[in-house]
Chain A
Amino acid sequence: MNALLGIEWLKIKRYRTFWVLAGLFILLLPLWNYEVANGFIKMGGGKNGINFLSNAYSFPQVWGNLGFWASIFITFISILVIILTTNEYTYRTNRQNVIDGWDRMQFYHAKVLLIIVLSFMATFYLFLLGMVFGGVNSGSLSNLFSEFQQVGYFFLLSVDYLGFALFIAIWIKKSGLAIGLFLLYSMIIENILKGIINHYMDKPYGNLLPLQASDELLPFPLLQMAKAMIPMGATLSMTTYAIVAMGWCAVYYFAGRMILLKNDW
């Protein structure tokens, strides 16, 4: 396992695109949240707009709030995973790795381990940011861990997104098309499908679609408030969403495995 990760590290440590995209994630996530927390980004017009989210940076709300924004910023890392994987096809280094003595599954598992490590690092970064934002904005640390499961939800969401990105990359093989399809699916297609399914079903089963299932774990922070005021109809539990998201991760894994074992490289 360490050997596989070590070789992945050799591949990326001198790759500028990796550092740029990872750097943008690291830089922009706190910057964005700093602006939201301090009222630079508001609802409504100009300086008179309302800062809805200024309270969302104290413990324990900070976990769900940061998690929500990070779930949007994880797109940077998803695109990075697609680029790293499709590069192998473009340069035909996937073949070379096998010719040099990996079996096909070692090539695959190196990438799977990479997305788990990236997810773990993104989650740890979220935890650090949460400690800083929460520490600055909370009077006490007594509520620090009361919504801490949301940090775990972010890890699951990250594996879901990056796993989906890895599957798309292995399936499509072409970098531009894979990135295009990933963005199109995550932003548009899934919402269309979700709308149709939820419209015709008595429960919101459309929320169980691949990326939506984990998005439901970290909803937009104001939604919690809205739920208290507006009747929301039937809902599904967080446990359901978490289990379904894990199920999707397994589906990506086995589908990718099948493609790699069955086809020519």
Chain B
Amino acid sequence: MNPILSIHNISKSYGPIQALKGVSFDVPEGCVFGVLGPNGSGKTTLLGIILDVLVANAGSYSWFGGMKPEDARKQIGSLLETPNFYHYLSAFNNLEITAAIRQNGLEDRIRVLQQVGLFERKDSKFQTFSLGMKQRLAIGAALLGKPKILVLDEPTNGLDPAGIAEIRDLIRKLNKEGLTIIIASHLLDEIEKVCTHVAILKKGNLLLNRPVDEVLRSEDQVEVRAADMAGLQHALQSMNGIRKIKLADNVLQLSCDAGINSAAINEFCISKGIVLSHLLLRKKSLETKFMELTN
């Protein structure tokens, strides 16, 4: 499949601080692509560059296989960093400006305001909105004119739990309709629930770029505890299929190959005469993988 966005060797520095160091990756069409990284890792800088509000020191990018960037942006709905609107204009009048720049018709405004739950407040001035409402309006503006791609930078900022769930459902639904979605966040839980691909950034370096299920595949962890921890550790070292044993917080964390399940471990321990007081299967989360990679 052709990439809908290609990023090639992008570098950017702010004075002595290098925010991005030669980052390259492709975003395939139709995926939900998560850009992950701790605070200050360069996520927003990267999105700012591909949307032409920041100027890269080196490297290039291309949308839709080389479309003129400003034409491409008209087909991309974006939310970068903060909701940016004219404070003295109402939600409706702000969207009129967005629609005019994107060269969309005006009739779509009602649909997007309903979609983000702001229709009743369409005539209120932007400056009277709460943080969550501003964020919703920004998401609504991004949906204007049915774009082919959404670029969302921390889209759930300022939203309450119900709002976060709504946005997650919206992302899934839009992706099913064929939109490609690029989403930057440090909320891993959120990314894990919706993304099909991830790229992980740390201090401007790209650490990893792969489909999510590949990142998380066959890396289940099992936690065990027994009265005699030293004996348990010794016994488990001889078991096939256990790759790594780590003592943490009074439990042993076992990294296992595919095919090893908690029943097999329990059986093995009993055969060695050890009774387990604690046995827990932990699906490896993106969070643990993320911590491993970024620490």
Contacts and interface: CB of A to CB of B under 8 A. Distances in A.
Contacts of B263: none
B287 interface: no
Interface in B46-86: 48, 51-55, 69-71, 73-74, 78, 80, 82, 84-86
A15 B87 CA distance: 10
A27 B54 CA distance: 43
A85 to B, nearest CB: 13
A97 B74 CA distance: 10
A264 B101 contact: no
A99 interface: yes
Nearest to B48: A264
Nearest to B51: A99
Nearest to A104: B52
A93 interface: yes
B100 A99 contact: no
Interface in A10-28: 10-11, 14-16
A101 B55 contact: no
Contacts of B89: 11, 14
A92 interface: yes
Given A14-B89, A97-B101, A91 B54 contact: no
B102 interface: yes
A179 B67 CA distance: 40
Contacts of A100: 73-74, 78, 98, 101-102, 141
Contacts of A99: 51-53, 73, 78, 80
Nearest to B45: A264
Contacts of B141: 100
A262 interface: yes
B198 to A, nearest CB: 23
B84 A7 contact: no
Given A98-B53, A101-B73, A102-B70, A91 B93 contact: no
Given A10-B97, A97-B101, A101-B103, A264 B84 contact: no
B96 interface: yes
Nearest to B71: A101
A224 interface: no
Interface in B191-215: none
B268 interface: no
Query: Which among B73, B86, B93 has the greatest number of chain A C-beta atoms within 10 A?
Result: B86
A263 interface: yes
Given A7-B100, A14-B89, A264 B73 contact: no
Interface in A81-105: 87, 91-93, 95-104
Chain A contact residues, majority secondary structure: helix
Contacts of B69: 103
A171 interface: no
Contacts of B70: 101-103, 106
A102 B93 CA distance: 18
A265 interface: yes
Contacts of A258: none
A106 B101 CA distance: 10
Interface in A237-265: 262-265
B92 to A, nearest CB: 11
Q: Which of A16, A98, A103 has the most CB of B within 10 A?
A: A98
B100 A93 contact: no
B52 A98 contact: yes
A103 B70 CA distance: 6
Contact of A95 (B53, B71, B74): B53
The 3 closest A-B pairs by CB, nearest first: A101-B74, A96-B84, A92-B84
25 contacts: A6-B100, A7-B97, A11-B86, A11-B89, A14-B88, A14-B93, A93-B84, A95-B80, A96-B85, A98-B73, A99-B51, A99-B73, A99-B80, A100-B101, A100-B141, A101-B73, A101-B74, A101-B101, A101-B102, A102-B70, A102-B101, A103-B69, A104-B52, A264-B55, A265-B54
Given A15-B88, A99-B78, A264-B48, 10 more contacts: A7-B101, A10-B93, A91-B87, A98-B52, A99-B51, A99-B80, A100-B78, A101-B103, A103-B52, A264-B53
